[in-house]
């Protein structure tokens, strides 16, 4: 059995919410089998390579797992928020955060903008290849001076006849090195600043003027490629404008709500897997004549961590169910993003501590998870920014 997972029947498992139906249980089992068969045996090699093979996207597309955000007429299944949460949670249990990031940036954070605000012609042009995994998508919003503050972006697009001419830079862009399509945010309203005047564009990465300035070396998420991008007089057709001109900020915010929900799923899955790995370890590792599990401090620490993971998982699933029922969830997704990564950070580092020196060694799942978890407190909106988002909605 692969080292990254373990038996589906054994170990620490949280109960599913009562509203999870048979189709979602089947989806969970399908993703779990894919993770065990196609990700865990190869994850270490992908970490060393700094990317996951294109074949992974092909295989996911072939079994319908890249189209849950998209309409059936383009090859998708339009499965809803709960399905996305199940998908993200099971991917994260692989213990390879970079793999989860690369796949879900494609499925849930970039190509989904085409479905949300694209025209029928744009959907027909780009979605079939993205849903089938023939092309890989990225989202380029963040800049060196504009991360959590999206309104501060400076990349500019100027209309010139039937084209848009784009100049600027983007930073920390996942899937940008080996991807094929980038959903790009740029300022389009002259000297307008702030949230107004931002638009979205679909940009093929082979467009003249599109340049990968550098492939970035990260602390964690090693198997996802991340880049700094530069655009130098890059021309794209006017038809590549995605959604309404100057209204891209609001589309980005809608996308962020789903991204924050997915981060809750990542934290729930990774946190549960960290506890499962640690339970396996402390029940066999002996110290002072007893197993670590027989030490009261160990048992109580893991009980506390398990309770916290169960809480963020419940909030994530309940929020997804509310979204599927048509309810607004901007406050709840901000709560998820402010809370879940902080809890995951504590979980993985406390679990690493319980592994002792073994947990500090490269190549062990718990060491990798501790590195990977750090980014979730920053990416998708830093914890401090999310707390302000929650406060505004109290």
pLDDT, residue 291, reads: 92
Domain match, 187 and 238 both: yes
Res. 3 pLDDT band, cuts 50 70 90:
very low
Same domain, 171 and 257: no
In a domain, 14, yes or no: no
Per the structure block, which two tokens stand in for 377?
Answer: 């407190």
Instruction: Tell me, yes or no, whether 143 lies in a domain.
Output: yes
What's this model's pTM, rounded to 2 decimal places? 0.92
CA–CA gap between residue 125 and residue 74 (Å, rounded): 9
pLDDT value at residue 149: 78
Q: Are residues 255 and 380 in the same domain?
A: yes
pLDDT (tens digit per residue) in 353-390 = 999 999 999 989 999 999 999 999 999 889 999 999 99
**Do 276 and 325 reside in the same domain of the chain?**
yes
User: Based on the number of CB atoms within 10 Å of its own CB, is 108 exposed (0-12), middle (13-18) or buried (19 or more)?
Assistant: buried
CATH code at position 205: 2.40.110.10
Residue 10 maps to a domain: no
Range of the domain at 263: 249-392
Q: Is there a single domain that holds both residue 114 and residue 146?
A: no
- The reply to whether 224 and 278 lie within a common domain is no
Q: Which two tokens stand for residue 174?
A: 């996942």
Is 70 inside a domain boundary? Answer: yes
| Of the residues 226, 247, 268, the one at which a domain ends | 247
Domain boundary among 83, 98, 132: 132
If one counts the domains in the chain, the total is 3
Q: Is residue 15 part of a domain?
A: no
3-state secondary structure the chain: CCCCCCCCCCCCCCCCCCCCCHHHHHHHHHHHHHHHHHHHHHHHHHHHHCCCCHHHHHHHHHCCCCCCCCCHHHCCCCCCHHHHHHHHHHHHCCCCHHHHHHHHHHHHHHCHHHHHHCCHHHHHHHHHHHHHCCCCEEEECCECCECCCHHHCCCEEEEECCEEEEEEEEEEEECCCCCCEEEEEEECCCCCCCCCCEEEEEEECCCCCEEEEEECCCCCCCCCCEEEEEEEEEEEEHHHEECCCCEHHHHHHHHHHHHHHHHHHHHHHHHHHHHHHHHHHHCCCEECCEEHHHCHHHHHHHHHHHHHHHHHHHHHHHHHHHHHCCCCCHHHHHHHHHHHHHHHHHHHHHHHHHHHHHHHCCCCHHHHHHHHHHHHHCCCCCHHHHHHHHHHCC
**Four-point Cα dihedral 372, 13, 349, 144, nearest 10:** 30
Bridge partner list, 231: 168, 210
- What is the distance between the alpha carbons of residues 94 and 365, in angstroms, rounded to a whole number? 9
85 and 182, same domain (yes or no): no
Mean pLDDT of 68-75: 95
Domain end, chosen from 84, 102, 132, is at 132
User: For residue 260, what is the domain's CATH number?
Assistant: 1.20.140.10
Is residue 11 in a domain?
A: no
- In tens, the pLDDT along 283-308 reads 999 888 899 999 999 999 999 999 99
The answer to whether residues 243 and 254 belong to one domain is: no
Mean pLDDT value across residues 103-110: 97
Going by their DSSP bridges, the two strands 198-204 and 210-215 should be labelled as unpaired
Considering the domain architecture, whether residues 39 and 120 belong to the same structural domain is answered as yes
Phi, psi of 302 (to 5 degrees): -70, -35
> In the annotation, is 71 catalytic?
no
Same domain, 162 and 239: yes
Catalytic residue among 259, 270, 276, 389: 259
**Mean pLDDT confidence for 313-322:** 97
Give me the mean pLDDT over the 87-94 stretch.
Answer: 97
Looking at residue 1, what is its pLDDT?
33
1 domain-assigned: no
CATH code at 26? 1.10.540.10
The predicted structure's pLDDT at residue 2:
38
Q: Are both 117 and 106 inside the same structural domain? A: yes
Tens digit of pLDDT for each residue in 9-44?
A: 345 778 888 889 999 999 999 999 999 999 999 999
Radius of gyration of the chain, Cα coordinates, nearest whole angstrom: 21
- The confidence score (pLDDT) of residue 6 equals 37
Residue pLDDT, tens place only, 114-166? 999 999 999 999 999 999 999 999 999 999 887 777 878 999 999 999 999 99
Token pair of 239 as six digits: 């038809």
Please give the backbone phi and psi of residue 360, each rounded to the nearest 5 degrees, phi first. -90, -5
* 379 and 278 together in one domain: yes
Tokens of 280: 């396996």
pLDDT digits (tens, 9 = 90+) for 166-200: 999 999 999 999 999 999 999 998 666 677 899 99
Q: With pLDDT > 90 as the criterion, what percentage of the chain qualifies?
A: 89
CA dist., res. 258 & res. 253, Å (int) = 9
pLDDT, residue 191, reads 61
Q: Is 68 left (phi over 0), alpha (psi -120 to 50) or beta?
A: alpha
User: Rounded distance, CA 130 to CA 179, Å?
Assistant: 11
d(CA 225, CA 173) in angstroms, rounded, equals 8
In a domain, 12, yes or no: no
- Which phi and psi (to 5°) does residue 78 adopt? 45, 60
Strands 198-204 and 241-242 turn out to be antiparallel
């Amino acid at each position: 059995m692969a080292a990254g997972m373990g038996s589906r029947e054994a170990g620490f498992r949280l109960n599913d919410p009562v509203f999870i139906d048979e189709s979602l249980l089947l989806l969970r089992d399908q993703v779990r089998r894919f993770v065990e068969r196609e990700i865990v045996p190869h994850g270490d090699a992908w970490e060393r390579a700094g990317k996951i093979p294109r074949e992974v996207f092909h295989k996911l597309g072939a079994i319908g797992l890249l189209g849950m955000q998209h309409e059936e007429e383009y090859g998708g299944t339009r499965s809803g928020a709960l399905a996305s949460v199940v998908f993200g949670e099971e991917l994260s249990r692989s213990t390879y955060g970079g793999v989860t990031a690369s796949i879900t940036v494609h499925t849930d954070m970039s190509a989904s903008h085409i479905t949300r605000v694209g025209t029928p012609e744009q959907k027909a042009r780009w979605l079939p290849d993205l849903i089938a995994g023939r092309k890989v998508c990225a989202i380029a919003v963040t800049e060196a001076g504009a991360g959590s503050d999206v309104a501060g972006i400076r990349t500019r697009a100027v209309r010139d006849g039937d084209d848009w001419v784009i100049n600027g830079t983007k930073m920390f862009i996942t899937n940008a090195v080996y991807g094929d399509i980038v959903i790009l945010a740029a300022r389009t309203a002259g000297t307008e600043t702030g949230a107004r005047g931002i638009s979205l564009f679909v940009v093929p990465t082979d467009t003249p003027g599109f340049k990968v300035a550098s492939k970035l070396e990260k602390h964690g998420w090693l198997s996802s490629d991340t880049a700094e991008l530069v655009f130098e007089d890059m021309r794209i057709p006017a038809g590549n404008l995605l959604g309404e001109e100057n209204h891209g900020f609001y589309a980005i915010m809608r996308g962020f709500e789903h991204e924050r929900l997915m981060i809750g799923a990542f934290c729930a899955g990774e946190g549960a897997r960290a506890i499962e790995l640690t339970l396996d370890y402390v029940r066999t590792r002996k110290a002072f004549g007893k197993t670590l599990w027989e030490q009261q401090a160990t048992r109580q620490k893991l009980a506390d961590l398990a309770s916290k993971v169960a809480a963020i998982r419940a909030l994530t699933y309940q929020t997804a169910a509310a979204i599927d029922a048509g309810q607004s969830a901007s406050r709840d997704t901000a709560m998820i993003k402010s809370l879940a990564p902080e809890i995951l950070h504590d979980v993985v580092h406390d679990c690493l501590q319980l592994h002792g020196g073994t947990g500090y060694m490269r190549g062990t799942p718990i060491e990798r998870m501790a590195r990977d978890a750090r980014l979730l407190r920053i990416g998708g909106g830093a914890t401090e920014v999310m707390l302000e988002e929650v406060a505004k909605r109290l």
